[in-house]
Amino acid sequence: MDYTQQTATHVGGSDYFGLGLVNFEIHENNISHETQGLSGNHLVVRRGKPFKVTLLFKGRSWNPNNERLVLEVCLEGSSQKIPVLFEEQSAPQGWSATVPAGKISRQSVIIHVCSPVLSPVALYQLLVHIETIDHRMTYMVGTFVLLCNPWLKDDPVYMQQDAHIKEYIKNDYGLIFTGTPSNVQERPWSFGQYEPGVLDACLKLLQLSNEHLHNSSRDYALRADPVYISRVICAMVNSNDDLGVLLGRWKDNYTDGVKPTDWSGSADILHQWLSSNGKPVRYGQCWVFASVLCTVMRVLGIPSRVVTVFTAAHDADGNTTIEEFYTTSGEKLSLSDDSIWNFHVWVECWMRRLDLGAEFDGWQVVDPTPQEKSGGMFRCGPCPVAAIKHCINVPFDTRFLYAAVDGDVHRLIIHNGSVVGRTVDTECVGELIYTKSIGSDTPQNLTNTYKGIKRPQDASTHQCELLSYNSRAARSGTLSYSCMSSHTGSSLFASPQMYSASITPADDAVGETSCGLQVSITIPGSPLLGANIDVCVKVTNHSSRPRDLMEHVNAQQKEYNRDPQQSFWRAQREVHIQTHQALTLRHTIPYSEYESTLKPDSVVNVAVVMQDLMTRERVLGAHEFSVSTAQITIQIEGGDRIQMKKEKSARVTFTNPFERALSEAVLSVEGSGLIKGKQEAKLLLLKPGENIKKTVSIMATSPGTKVLKATLSHSSSSIMVSRSFHKVSVSSA
């Protein structure tokens, strides 16, 4: 049994009576409240649902006629006293404590304690008072944690289907989708909400927030609202303007911390932050920020999932139009504060929006990656997905998020400071939006939940103010603004005005100008790091005359969220094309041209500028793709489901798929919660077709989902050739 020992404060001869032991019935309450495994230190329960506490008396038996029991729940300076009533008595509004029929004996009493459904999420202290006409005995009996309750219909985070709650609250494992729409890659992530200390870290996040440090009473009062909780935690996951968890870095030097791509779970990050007393963990990028946020939200009882937006726009100036600049040879320039991220990862949290109305209930975007400030802090959301889809201006940050999934991209060719060509792409932003499916590792396509009619015409509904591009003004380099109808309804909608962008020149289309040329780029297959890369350029002549063209093709390495770096490969040739002809021009980027540049997770921006040699007109085509790594196989003895504290072996194998040997190959294996440290196998020369193997012993000390990570590096390159992740499910028995 789970007891908290108490010392009586009153002594009185043979008539002595006092509180001896308190049983928090942790095992039974955990099962009833779906909180198994969240804590070994605290009773963890969900709001709006009764939990059981048993009081055991010492000395003589309790006399309920003369000795009244009163419970008291405390949050720092505030408290709430709760008279203990018998079941037939009417319970008061708010907190209640009742004794069910037949649950009282000479030496003990069972009490069912229930909080209001909109109670603050927090760590509470529980006191017991035994009161008579003459005196009172008070006992501090322990603490309990109160969480949101997605099983309870009246809770704003309620989810109707058990399969959804299992996936978005209880599941401690997820998939992060990265790469590009044409080469989607996935990596497992251990959310780790059942790891020891994770709940403590989540509660500490609330206590160290700017809101709590500034005004703890107000903070506690507002913690009943999941909108408020998600906004506070969103700011606390990054450390830009508070004592938050993660410090972001998007450059190559990570020697004073952990490279973002090396993380595979949230628990290690939260443990490190908690043990350092609020010192930020180095380093995070978008999927790390989002995954940690998802962990904290699930622990606190708010259903959450990690979502990847491919070709996500970062609209720095707020006009929902993204401008990109290229040279006449196809090299992309860093001339705009706007950018396109090949992928961006954020979180959706499920809740009713009591502040907005039922049409905005459901999934809300919450983005902890520090990009722009919202309400004076680096955070974003929660914003209803429904508002993003229909371009409705509601709190919070709708304009920024709308641009991220549905902005227009204007690509301009620059020569001697002048625009000599332009294309407009209205489709590529938010091209694909994925999350993990319920109960499986397949992706669920959310694109249609975000992208609807870009420019609503019904003036009777809440609408954004729309920014229209005048085609003639755009050609002359000036913009004109026209405002469509906007209706804000009430003060709840009084957030900054929101704009979307459109361009309406009749002769502009993606990769085509009035000269009648159209050009596009494709990359056959899935390019493999270490192998040659094929590039196909398709050019179509829609005009009524043949053309002599000069083709310029350019490739640049880029981080997934930044503008490209210096070009690493170029090609050009003259091309003759007949009237109404379509040609496919093939190129090869040799490995030797990029071996010192590209690395795992690299993205390549490849662009082509096709110039008519007679008219000097130019047309641009651009494409970005990610580079995959060679496969490392990981096999677990007896399968991927293991029992806690039982040793198993894992066999890790890499086979050289390349046409060249790899010298001084090193195969490394590590996994938090499975292996202590890193284990390696080395081979002086790994010939084509040969393999390198490493067998390691694994043993889990806690249940849940763990991740093994294997990497292969060699001396011929400063970067690893391959990295693979493998999911291991651990059961307690």
User: Which residues are part of the catalytic machinery?
Assistant: 286, 344, 367
**Six-digit token string for 200:** 């403590």
Rounded Cα distance, 384 and 493, in Å = 13
- Looking up tokens 């989810």, which residue turns up? 159
Return the structure tokens found at 381.
């959301």
Q: CA 457 → CA 51, 427, 448, 483, 519, distances in Å?
A: 52, 20, 19, 12, 33
Distance, in Å, from the CA atom of 587 to the CA atom of 658, rounded to the nearest integer, reads 20
Q: How far is CA 582 from CA 310, 321, 537, 539, 548, in A?
A: 29, 31, 10, 6, 14
264: region left, alpha or beta (phi > 0 left; psi from -120 to 50 alpha): alpha
d(CA 593, CA 533): 10
Residue 559, SS3 per DSSP? coil
CB 22 within 8 A of CB 3: yes
Q: In the structure encoding, which two tokens stand for residue 569, read together?
A: 């490969």
Give the three-class secondary structure for 357.
Answer: coil
Grouping H, G, I as helix, E, B as strand and the rest as coil, residue 403 is helix
| Distances from the Cα of 212 to the Cα of 218, 333, 336, 717, angstroms | 8, 44, 38, 49
Q: How far is CA 162 from the centre of its chain?
A: 22
Tokens of 119: 């109670």
Scanning 465-564, the segments in alpha helix (DSSP H) are 471-475
Classified as helix, coil or strand, 562 is: coil
Identity of residue 212: H
**Cβ(190)–Cβ(268) under 8 Å?**
no
- Whether the CA torsion 32, 38, 44, 45 is positive or negative: it is negative
CA contacts within 13 A on the Cβ side of 60? 12
Count CA atoms within 13 Å of residue 239 on its CB side. 18
**Phi and psi at residue 127, to the nearest 5°:** -115, 150
Residue 230 to residue 382: CA distance in whole angstroms: 7
139 prior amide bond cis, ω within 30: no
Structure tokens belonging to residue 481? 């603004």
Residue 250, Ramachandran bin (φ over 0: left; ψ between -120 and 50: alpha; else beta): alpha
Q: Which two tokens stand for residue 416?
A: 């001697």
- Tokens, residue 198: 């994770």
CA distance 58 to 144: 24
Q: How far is CA 316 from the centre of its chain?
A: 21
The partner residues of 540 in beta bridges, in order of sequence, read: 518, 582
Residue 473 phi/psi, 5° resolution? Answer: -65, -35
389, 359 contact by CB (below 8 A): no
Cβ(604)–Cβ(624) below 8 Å: yes
CA 631 – CA 8 distance, rounded (Å) = 65
Which are the contacts of 661, defined by CB distance < 8 A and separation ≥ 6?
685, 686, 687, 688
Side chain identity at 524, as an amino acid letter?
P
The residue written with tokens 């009773």 in the block is 43
* CB 703 within 8 Å of CB 732: yes
Q: What is the DSSP letter of 258?
A: -
